[in-house]
Amino acid sequence: MQRYPIKSRETVEVKIEVIDEKSPHLQTVIALGDANRKTVGFLADTAFVDHARRGNIFVAVDSQGECIGYVLYEYTRRHNRHRLVHLCVAPAHRGKGVAKFLIDYLKQITKESNGIGLHCREDFKLEKMWSRLGFVAKYDKPGKNKEGKLLIYWWFDHGHADLFDAAPTQKLESRLCVVIDTQIFEEIYIDKETDFAESKSLFADWLQTELELCITDEIFNKIILLKDSKERNKQRNFARQKFTRLRSQQNFDSVVTSLSSLLSDKEAAIDEIEVRHLARTIASDSQVFVTLDSKLLELSSEIYEHFRVSIIRPNDLITQLDELRRKLDYQPVRLAGTTHLEQIPVQKGQEDLLSNYFQCEEQGETKAEFQQQLRRFLAESDKFECWVVREEENQPLALVVYGRQKKHELEIPMLRVENNPLSGTLVRHLIFKSILRSAREQRQFTRISDSYLAESVMTAIQESSSFRRVTNGWLKINLALAETASELSQRLITLGSTLGEEYQICLQFAESLNTENILTDVQASVDIERFLFPAKIIDADIPTFIIPIQPKWAADLFDEGLANQTLFGAKPELAFNREAVYYGAIQNLRRLQAPCRILWYVSGTQGERKGKGFREVQSVRACSYVDEVIIGKPKELYQRFQRLGVYKLSDIEKVKRDKHGNIMAIRFSDIELFDTPIMLETIRRICGKDYDFQWAEKNRNECFIKVYNLGIHTSQKS
């Protein structure tokens, strides 16, 4: 028996006790359940005893030692979720916060699962209670009760990422993510062209490539209050089809408390659903909340100060869109000041110097701990490599340590960046390069095990979406393989079955590779490839293109080999970019679609003349993914993607336009440079076509795999 004292505003003290079949409180629990069987449902006495024996019942005990409420729950291993079977509070103690105490404890003990679900009859009218407890109304269905009353399924999500639940930053890299309030949602939903012009302006055609309109789950708690079940289903479908749903993290409850306190202090009477909607927005790490609520707009400065979320009305958002994007997006172009970056080995004796830059005080690391760790890594040079990134002779910018104790894994026991406006950009670059390093060494995993991760580093890890939290750090699968879905699945099963509990995630991916539509669903195939990056699924229907690019632009955008052939070497933008944008004539790229894979063919031409000074051109030199294909006027595209590119407006205006004055922009990312450039003659022989690459060429899957394997694996084959 365990006791958990919880102080209450309404009562002196409430304790939570987990009971077993011998507990004196069990009979009170059974009596409470029987007295409320019309709402909680019938459960036999033997079932209560069985649940108590398994430790699945806990009770609320008041200061007199009396049981005043209980929770009975179950765990479903298959879905890794908990089911709330009974929540029952004695009538004399209702309205005193006992139910919240019970649910808070249930959340605490189940936080490693995906979440908590329950069914509740619609006619019980408990929608407000479940919403206040943090649950979301997911759907309703006819119940098995005699009256045929609808059952509402309520869900509390613990905020763990799903297998394919990529962070919004990955999906929305070129669009601004904004959450709309419930009023704007309703006004957009109403199908009247003349009404609610301000809200509906967010759906203007020209904004679709600029804005990603998002909602949180609280929208569904608003919808469940509608009396007409058909209308509820209609609005749910509209919400799911037209908007991106953002998931709240585990700090949602604390955000609700903090936000409610702030609004109360400011005497702002805001609808409680709207408060929770805004709290879910904050807990999802979104940065913009669009609203028509005048009280929230008046408090926009205070809310931003406390939660770093911008509160803005639709018309102002549209006016300020460009300015907001410049604020929120990470911009590699800002690195123009770091003219000559170099990565050099850490030397013994530098521990004290480096502690001044990389000791993580915010996580409680002492100077002695940092120095001892670094000394240990330097001493065991057969197991660890220690590197520092610096700007010529100036101060260090980053510190990374690689550990190779395990044959199958590259460990990063230390990953630090100097705290400056560019730290987030730099750490993303280091993580990506580490994954490629691990894969090129034929290791199947990359693990970040640093116990003192700064906030900027942690954010970068979580945003990558392919790392999974494990007992010792963060783990990513990186298979340097091009195989069928079945072959990759079998490899993952072998890894997950032989390497231990932390590698069980392999089994989940193996199962995903065996789903019915994985080969034909292009987006699903690309998603899983990127989770296993740099793996390639060779029998998936992912379109592949070979795109020609002039040596100068290849050098500036992604090819450090070509850049190093120039007088000034690689540009700072190149050193950090994980994504970039390329411009071309629509007629040359018209068959391109996103998502897809591309092979970059570096041509022998350089504008009006040959690519003088560049070696190993007229070859395929890299592979990447296309994230987005956009058509527009040169100036519009330049303004939109200026943060990503090395192009000047004058460069883009030279691109041949179609009859409407439009050109095409291709946003691409996750660039793999080939170890061995594949020359034109080899490509022609492999693919059986007399290519001259004047425009984008769609490539057969088998041809892509042969070229890719030659470029990536030549130096790795034993």
From the list 12, 570, 165, 676, the residue with the least C-alpha distance to 338 is 570
**Shared-domain flag, residues 391 and 304:** no
- For the stretch 50-78, pLDDT in tens is 999 999 999 999 989 999 999 999 998 88
pLDDT of the residue at 16 = 95
- If asked whether residues 150 and 285 sit together in one domain, one would say no
User: Is residue 661 one of the residues assigned to a domain?
Assistant: yes
User: What is the pLDDT at residue 339?
Assistant: 43
Q: What is the structure's pLDDT at 636?
A: 86
* Contact present, 511 and 483 (Cβ < 8 Å): no
686 within some domain: yes
pLDDT number for residue 340: 59
Average pLDDT over residues 495-516: 91
Cis before 534 (ω within 30) = yes
- For residue 410, the model assigns a pLDDT of 97
Tell me what pLDDT residue 8 has: 46
Question: How many C-beta atoms lie closer than 10 Å to residue 664's C-beta?
Answer: 22
Same domain assignment for residues 206 and 296: yes
Cα distances (angstroms) measured from residue 341 to each of 115, 389, 577: 46, 7, 14
- pLDDT class for 713, splitting at 50, 70, 90? low
- Domain final residue pick, 96, 131, 157: 157
| Average pLDDT of the segment spanning 311-338 | 55
Query: Between 536 and 310, whose confidence is greater?
Result: 536
Q: Identify whether 418 is part of a domain.
A: yes
Same domain, 571 and 455: no
Q: Is the pLDDT score of 716 beyond 60?
A: no
> With bands split at pLDDT 50, 70 and 90, how would you rate the model's confidence at 525?
very high
Question: Is 76 a member of any domain?
Answer: yes
The CATH number linked to 173 is 3.40.50.1010
Check whether residue 443 and residue 347 sit in a common domain: yes
For residue 1, the model assigns a pLDDT of 42
523 occurs within a structural domain: no
CA-atom Rg of the chain in angstroms:
29
- Residue 500, domain member (yes or no): no
Is the same domain home to 552 and 698? yes
Whether 623 and 700 map to the same domain: the answer is: yes
Residue 445 pLDDT: 97
pLDDT above 70 (res 102): yes
Contact residues for 254 (Cβ-Cβ < 8 A; gap 6+): none
What single-letter DSSP state applies at residue 615?
A: S
Q: Based on the domain organization, do 471 and 607 belong to the same domain?
A: no
Q: Within this chain, do residues 282 and 360 fall inside the same structural domain, yes or no?
A: no
Terminal CA-CA length for the chain: 60
In a domain, 502, yes or no: no
356 and 312 together in one domain: no
Residues 204 and 317 in one domain: yes
Instruction: Identify the CATH number of the domain in which residue 664 sits.
Output: 3.10.590.10
Note down the domain range covering 661. Answer: 544-713
* Within-domain flag for 449: yes
Residue type, 624: S
- Determine contact, residues 510/493, Cβ cutoff 8 Å: yes
Owner of token pair 């699924």:
537
The pLDDT value recorded for residue 419 is 82
- State residue 167's pLDDT score: 39
Residue 399 · residue 354 · CB < 8 Å: yes
At 12 the pLDDT is: 45
Angle CA 472–473–479, to nearest 5: 105
Return the pLDDT at 605. Answer: 60
Query: What is the CATH classification number for the domain harbouring 341?
Result: 3.40.630.30
Q: Are 358 and 389 in contact (CB under 8 A)?
A: no
- Are 83 and 117 in contact by the 8 Å Cβ rule? The answer is yes
pLDDT in tens, 3-22: 444 444 454 478 999 999 99
Domain count, the chain: 4
Angle, helix 182-189 to helix 229-242, in steps of 10 degrees: 100
Helix (H, G, I), strand (E, B) or coil at 271: coil
| Average pLDDT, integer, range 267-285 | 91
- Answer yes or no: do 21 and 142 share one domain: yes
Asked whether residue 272 carries a pLDDT value surpassing 60, the answer given is: yes
**Mean of pLDDT over the chain:** 84
What is d(CA 270, CA 273) in angstroms, rounded to the nearest whole number? Answer: 8
> Given a cut of 60, is residue 209 above it in pLDDT?
yes
Is pLDDT at 694 greater than 50 in this prediction? yes
Contact between 623 and 673 under an 8 Å Cβ cutoff? The reply is no
Cα maximum dimension of the chain: 92
Alpha helices in 359-421 (DSSP H): 367-379
DSSP of 465-527 = S--EEETTEEEEE----EE-HHHHHHHHHHHHHHS-GGGTHHHHHHHHTTSTTTTT-HHHHHH
What digits encode the pLDDT tens for the residues 601-639? 888 765 544 445 566 678 888 999 999 999 999 988 887
- Determine the average pLDDT of the residues in 250-277: 92
Query: CA-CA distance, 535 to 518, in Å (whole number)?
Result: 15
Residue 355 is predicted with a pLDDT of: 93
Task: Point out the domain boundary residue: 458, 478, 498.
Answer: 478
User: Of the ranges 81-90, 347-356, 672-681, which is most confident?
Assistant: 81-90
Asked if residue 649 lies in contact with residue 663, where contact means CB atoms within 8 angstroms, the answer is no
pLDDT of residue 566: 47
- Which of 311, 328, 345 is the last residue before a domain boundary? 328
Measured CA to CA, the distance from residue 496 to residue 74 in angstroms comes to: 27
Predicted confidence (pLDDT) per residue in 346-390, tens digit? 887 788 899 999 999 989 998 888 987 888 888 777 788 999 988
Q: At what angle do helices 351-358 and 367-379 cross, to 10 degrees?
A: 130
Model confidence, pTM: 0.55
- The predicted model gives 571-580 an average pLDDT of 60
Name the more confident of 522 and 424. 522
